[in-house]
Structure 1
């Protein structure tokens, strides 16, 4: 038996290193487990996406669609591209055209000193008009929400009355959905998309088809 085996503590005087802290001595499994647990407790918990390429885009990466003007026609909410709307004017009377048989043509209306045709978009889409109520003081505010929209199509304007104008929105392209067969304007191709908005489903109209229908109503 060697002297090293007989005196395992030889040389451990004051100031000698503890074997547990010596770089040549490895801690036991229990110590490693405790240190690892303490380290993990200090790290933030961040879930790992197993498919990072499918991560949803951030707010700044959402692709926005074209700006839309939202308006109400009777009880139906509709939208047209803002670029196709030339003007939103206060409601005013129009002059009927004697002898004209097109039901969609309401007459002629003065916009900025020029007479433009005033047509019924509701007649083209088959929107039932809102029930007529007596003009009581309580209804005056609701009646004052009506507006005339001037649609630019081709080289001329056509105006059409609406019940209310909400304003412009710019929804994400992904928010626009396909048009159901039962949606307003779907059968005639006027609606090109639907947009969930608040508690409503907004029908997004094709300005080219609406303008072409207005032109046919003037023939």
Structure 2
């Protein structure tokens, strides 16, 4: 954009885009650059941003977006409500929890054992930014196979253990996952029943199964899991 074009655009919009003319996107002749180093640190840049946000809406803008959001959704997106889960691996089992109970994911911390433990699922306590949290073994708690260390399969990069912090009405706790895939959004209509072999095992906290690529993810019932956590701590 030439200076003449920039000046013409400024006259139309009332916005002084000086960064395109004498700033970092222009010829860098602005004397304020010596103090601020970059246009984004300059008060003029911030003032112009506020001016852009405060300007009136263009004609037809509100009506256009009203029609867009009022239109019916076609296809699979309109077949039901969506939920979001955190997908992780314990041993060979892929499981998930609603994001509402997953508070943070951090690197594993040293686990300090507690004396006189009544439950094999309670590993000890971990320090997460100064807060001592009970660390549990989800493999013991749910009755699934214990996991190993880093894995490499299907050309994916090596995956490492992560500490997942969960929270409920009675407080926060943590467990180690052999791998955390991340967040996954799905339609509730995609959920399927739990196989009888799973329902008869100690993994009764699995309320449904979700197809996920070539795998199936066991969707844990957050209320049941938190109750199991409370009972293992008591």
Shorter-chain TM-score tier: 0.5 to 0.7
Tell me the CA shift for residue 209 of structure 1.
0.7
2:128 to 108, 111, 126: 111
CA distance in 1, matches of 2:137, 2:76: 39
CA distance in 1, matches of 2:122, 2:205: 18
2:167 to 152, 159, 174: 152
Cα RMSD over matched residues? 2.3
Assess if the C-alpha contact under 8 Å between 1:153 and 1:211 holds in 2: yes
Q: Which runs of 5+ in 2 are unaligned?
A: 1-73, 151-156
Partner of 2:119: 102
Partner of 2:107: 90
2:214 to 192, 199, 210: 199
**Distance verdict in 2 for CA 1:99–1:87, change over 3 Å:** same
TM-score by length of 2: 0.61
Q: Which has the higher contact order (CA 8 A, sep 6+)?
A: 1
Assess if the C-alpha contact under 8 Å between 1:178 and 1:193 holds in 2: yes
Which SS does the other structure have where 2:83 is aligned?
Answer: coil
Assess if the C-alpha contact under 8 Å between 2:144 and 2:203 holds in 1: no
Tell me the CA shift for residue 60 of structure 1.
4.0
Partner of 1:32: none
Aligned length: 156
Q: Which has the higher helix share?
A: 2
Highest Rg: 1 or 2? 1
- Runs in 1 of length 4+ with deviation above 4 angstroms? 184-188
TM-score by length of 1: 0.65
Residue correspondence of structure 1 range 45-124 to structure 2 within 5 A: 58-124=75-141
Q: Which runs of 5+ in 1 are unaligned?
A: 1-56, 134-140
**Distance verdict in 2 for CA 1:89–1:104, change over 3 Å:** same
Assess if the C-alpha contact under 8 Å between 2:149 and 2:160 holds in 1: no
Residue correspondence of structure 1 range 17-28 to structure 2 within 5 A: none
Tell me the CA shift for residue 62 of structure 1.
3.1
Partner of 1:213: 228
